[in-house]
Amino acid sequence: MIHARTKSNKMTKIFVIDKKSRTFAADFQDKTNKRSNNSLFFLRQNIGKKIMGYNLLKGKKGIIFGALNDQSIAWKVAERAVEEGAQIVLTNTAVACRMGTISELAEKTNATVIAADATSVDDLEMLFSESQKALGGKIDFVLHSCAMSANMRKKRTYDDLDYSLLGKTLDISAISFHKMLQVAKKMDALNENASVLALTYVASHRTFFGYNDMADAKSLLESIARSFGYIYGREKGVRVNTISQSPTMTTAGSAIKGFDGLFDFSDRMSPLGNASADECADYCIVMFSDLTKKVTMQTLFHDGGFSNMGMSLRGMTQYEKSFIEENTDENGKIIYG
Total-model pTM: 0.80
Please state, in angstroms and as integers, the Cα–Cα distance from residue 142 to each residue in 64, 65, 75, 148, 316, following that order: 6, 8, 13, 19, 40
Q: Give the pLDDT score at 316.
A: 82
> Does residue 174 sit in the same domain as residue 202?
yes
The Cα 110–Cα 116 span in angstroms is 19
Q: Which residues have C-beta within 8 Å of that of residue 44, sequence separation ≥ 6?
A: none
Please state, in angstroms and as integers, the Cα–Cα distance from residue 177 to each residue in 39, 123, 270, following that order: 42, 13, 29
Q: Would you give the DSSP letter of residue 228?
A: H
Are the CB atoms for 246 and 302 separated by under 8 Å? yes
User: Do the domain assignments include residue 322?
Assistant: no
User: Do the domain assignments include residue 112?
Assistant: yes
> Does residue 167 sit in the same domain as residue 301?
yes
Q: Give the pLDDT score at 255.
A: 59
What value, to the nearest 5°, has the Cα angle with vertex 47 and ends 44 and 53? 100
> Does residue 214 sit in the same domain as residue 90?
yes
Q: Give the pLDDT score at 325.
A: 65
> Does residue 295 sit in the same domain as residue 152?
yes
Of 271, 332, 257, the residue nearest 301 (C-alpha): 271
DSSP string, 295-316: --S-EEEESTTGGG-S--HHHH
> Does residue 118 sit in the same domain as residue 213?
yes
End-to-end distance of the chain based on CA atoms, in angstroms?
A: 49
Q: Which residues have C-beta within 8 Å of that of residue 254, sequence separation ≥ 6?
A: none
> Does residue 285 sit in the same domain as residue 208?
yes
Q: Give the pLDDT score at 61.
A: 98
Of 268, 267, 247, the residue nearest 257 (C-alpha): 247
> Does residue 133 sit in the same domain as residue 203?
yes
- Containing domain of residue 84, as a range? 61-308
The Cα 65–Cα 180 span in angstroms is 10
User: Do the domain assignments include residue 104?
Assistant: yes
> Does residue 156 sit in the same domain as residue 275?
yes
> Does residue 10 sit in the same domain as residue 131?
no
Of 29, 37, 32, 38, the residue nearest 9 (C-alpha): 29
> Does residue 29 sit in the same domain as residue 155?
no
Q: Give the pLDDT score at 7.
A: 37
User: Do the domain assignments include residue 333?
Assistant: no
> Does residue 291 sit in the same domain as residue 180?
yes
- Into how many domains does the chain fold? 2
> Does residue 298 sit in the same domain as residue 193?
yes
Q: Which residues have C-beta within 8 Å of that of residue 160, sequence separation ≥ 6?
A: 337
User: Do the domain assignments include residue 153?
Assistant: yes
User: Do the domain assignments include residue 203?
Assistant: yes
> Using one digit for the tens of pLDDT, what is the confidence trace for 119-144?
999 999 999 999 999 999 999 999 99
CATH code of the domain in which 120 resides: 3.40.50.720
User: Do the domain assignments include residue 314?
Assistant: no
Residue numbers of the chain with a pLDDT score lower than 50: 1-49
Alpha helical stretches, state H, the chain: 73-83, 94-99, 102-109, 121-135, 150-153, 163-170, 176-186, 214-236, 259-269, 277-288, 313-320
User: Do the domain assignments include residue 323?
Assistant: no
CA atoms within 13 A on the CB side of 296: 22
